[in-house]
Amino acid sequence: MKPSNPPAIAFIGLGRMGRGIAGRLLGGGHALALYNRTPGKAGELRDAGALEAASIAQACAQREFVVTMLADDAALEAVALGPGGLRDSASPGTIHLVMGTHGVALVRALARAHADAGQVLVAAPVLGRPDAAAAGQLGIVAAGPAQAVQRCRPLFELIGRRVFEAGEQPEAATAIKLANNFMLGCALQGMAEGFSLVRKTGVDPQVLYDVMTEGLFAAPAYKIYGRLMVDQAYEQAGFTTRLALKDMNLVLAAGQDQQVPLPSVSLLRDRLLGAMAHGEAERDWAVLAREQARAAGLE
Predicted local distance difference test score (pLDDT) of residue 1: 42
Confidence label for 30 from pLDDT (cuts 50, 70 and 90): very high
3-state SS, residue 141: strand
**Statement: residue 257 has pLDDT above 70:** yes
| Alpha helix (H) residue ranges in 61-204 | 73-81, 86-89, 104-116, 130-134, 146-159, 170-200
Q: Name which residue leads in pLDDT, 236 or 120.
A: 120
Fold that domain 174-295 belongs to in CATH: N-(1-d-carboxylethyl)-l-norvaline Dehydrogenase; domain 2 (1.10.1040)
Cα–Cα distance measured from residue 133 to residue 79, given in angstroms and rounded to the nearest whole number: 22
Predicted local distance difference test score (pLDDT) of residue 5: 77
DSSP track, 110-127:
HHHHHHHTT-EEEE--EE
For the segment 271-275, the average pLDDT, to the nearest whole number, is: 97
**Statement: residue 2 has pLDDT above 70:** no
Show which residues are catalytic. Answer: 177
Considering Cα of 236, then 269, then 181, then 158, what sign does the dihedral take? negative
Q: How many CB atoms neighbour CB 157 within 10 A?
A: 15
For the segment 197-204, the average pLDDT, to the nearest whole number, is: 96
For the segment 185-213, the average pLDDT, to the nearest whole number, is: 97
**Statement: residue 213 has pLDDT above 90:** yes
Residue 193 backbone phi and psi in degrees, to 5: -70, -40
Predicted local distance difference test score (pLDDT) of residue 200: 96
123 beta partners: 98, 143
Q: What CATH class is the domain 9-168? A: alpha beta
3-state SS, residue 162: strand
How big is the chain, counted in residues? Answer: 299
Domain segments of the chain: what residues? Answer: 9-168, 174-295
Confidence label for 4 from pLDDT (cuts 50, 70 and 90): low
Residue 191 backbone phi and psi in degrees, to 5: -65, -40
Q: How many CB atoms neighbour CB 46 within 10 A?
A: 14
pLDDT in tens, 124-166: 999 998 899 999 999 999 999 999 999 999 999 999 999 999 9
45 and 32 in contact (C-beta within 8 Å)?
yes
Instruction: Tell me whether strands 65-68 and 95-98 are parallel, antiparallel or unpaired.
Output: parallel
Q: Mind spelling out the 3-state secondary structure of 70-90? A: CCCHHHHHHHHHCCCCHHHHC
| Average pLDDT along the chain | 95
Predicted local distance difference test score (pLDDT) of residue 238: 87
pLDDT in tens, 74-127: 999 999 999 999 999 999 999 999 999 999 999 999 999 999 999 999 999 999
